[in-house]
A and B are shown apart, each in its own frame.
Chain A
């Protein structure tokens, strides 16, 4: 059994962090809360999301897994007003999730969790450099880089975080010294990333007050941030590598 009540806006923001990368996911639900781990079809970007039980107004469950079509779930959630709560209740027998929004009640057909792309193995990475900055600032930088190229270098040198995008015609360089960052752990870091993916991620991280980037040399990027108070989002993005 699974029965929960949560603020619509909170759930919508949480789902947005995931649906920018994948359409179908498995919800792993335990008494601790709801967890999603998913990788995009190209195996380039991974997202893991945890909604702690205390982020819910009401939460009662036995451990279970359900498969959800996020496009359809988001459709339903978009009907809710800002302050409104949504009620979720699993109808195990019919493989449906009942969603109550105000006086509206939807039934969402669930997907067989075994038909969903397997949960990824999460690489165990040692990423030396850490940078913390406001999500809005990072989002703006990603937007600027997109105007110039389709990929961008992220790196840390001495006491600053930098971004470089080189297009056929224009180029862009952004430097933020440690004094203007919310946090910096210096280390050797310089890797190239696809802006398509960063742009997808920026929709969600742009709203976060603090975003931490963990980087290495020609190595994946880890992005950690919180949606609201109790939802943790974690992205991992594989780099692009320059040809010799």
Chain B
């Protein structure tokens, strides 16, 4: 049973719902572990059960707020914003109108959420640690995509950035953004900035194959010596989270940019970001083919952080070098369960005509 008052430490995490938009429910998520100094955060190193029980025991406190209130917040929303700006856990004490009831909700993009209750009063019991760069970004009111890029370059993590977006703390117009949208928005904005930084960079020299896995999500990421493009093929094996029967879906973009929102949703932008981080750091460009094979052991969706972290984990592994796409495909065939012949027809990166850039003709 959860009492009418919860004392704890938020990682920090603030949930902003999307139902009822523009009147949404928002509030800090406080794990029920009063003595822990640092709340445990889900990571690829845990198993599915651990992550789910961690989420089931974190209480989502809620108050109804209008998204436009972010501009001139009341006292409660202001304390949510203070918590969101912190880079370290924040002690939080919440009294509820009614004791929260145990429950668990899954979402395709955000992490699963646990019991929720309406806030009667809220108190911050430790000082939020706000990095100077974050303070500046919140004060300066530059365009959101510029602010996001500067924060990232200053070493502020993607989670922290999406928290700032969500609480309406960045950009020229300030409004709350539901957590689910803010996660994709930060992955997308950062990805776009990186694409811009690599489109004139030299091509990589060989076919480089990276692979890695976490929580039943296996990645094969092939970098090809071509102008920038990104393609994600998702293979959902029978019994995996969204796919009792199993299916294969794909989406792509090239150096002329992406129009509209990917049908692969948040996972597309998270995987793209992981591959781009590598290229931006290396100062190279490449055509990226990412294959994500999701096995039955990923039986519940845990949020796109799994995709981002599994793809990042792949990109830090040592790659295998090949001199032809055929050789790379033969290697992928050995590493995943689904035969190449089944998924390759869904991929067009290796066959479609490459868009040249005008600078190649100077």
Binding site for B on A (CB under 8 A): 39-46, 120-121, 123-125, 151, 192, 194, 196-197, 219-220, 236, 238-243
Contact = CB atoms under 8 A, between A and B. Distances in A.
A197 B356 contact: no
Nearest to B259: A196
Contacts of B351: 243
B358 A46 contact: yes
Contact of B358 (A151, A220, A243): A220
B353 A151 contact: yes
B140 to A, nearest CB: 16
B202 to A, nearest CB: 14
B355 A194 contact: yes
B281 to A, nearest CB: 21
Contacts of B362: 121, 123-124
A23 B360 CA distance: 24
Given A192-B353, A240-B353, A243-B351, A41 B358 contact: no
B361 A238 contact: yes
A236 B358 CA distance: 8
A194 B255 CA distance: 12
A243 B361 contact: no
A123 B358 contact: yes
Interface of B: 196, 199-200, 255-257, 350-362
Contact of A197 (B200, B256, B350, B353): B256
B286 to A, nearest CB: 15
A124 B357 CA distance: 14
B46 to A, nearest CB: 41
Which 6 A-B pairs give the minimum distances between C-beta atoms?
Answer: A240-B353, A123-B361, A43-B357, A238-B356, A123-B362, A42-B256
Contacts of A40: 256
Given A42-B199, A43-B200, A44-B255, A240 B355 contact: yes
Nearest to A240: B353
A30 to B, nearest CB: 25
B256 A196 contact: yes
Contacts of B196: 41
Contacts of B354: 240-241, 243
Nearest to A216: B361
Nearest to A150: B352
Contacts of A242: 353
A243 B347 CA distance: 14
Given A44-B358, A45-B358, A240-B356, 13 more contacts: A41-B257, A44-B255, A44-B356, A46-B358, A120-B358, A123-B358, A123-B362, A192-B353, A194-B355, A196-B256, A238-B355, A241-B354, A243-B354
A45 B255 CA distance: 12
14 contacts: A41-B196, A42-B255, A43-B357, A43-B358, A44-B255, A44-B256, A44-B357, A46-B358, A123-B361, A123-B362, A151-B353, A238-B358, A240-B353, A243-B350
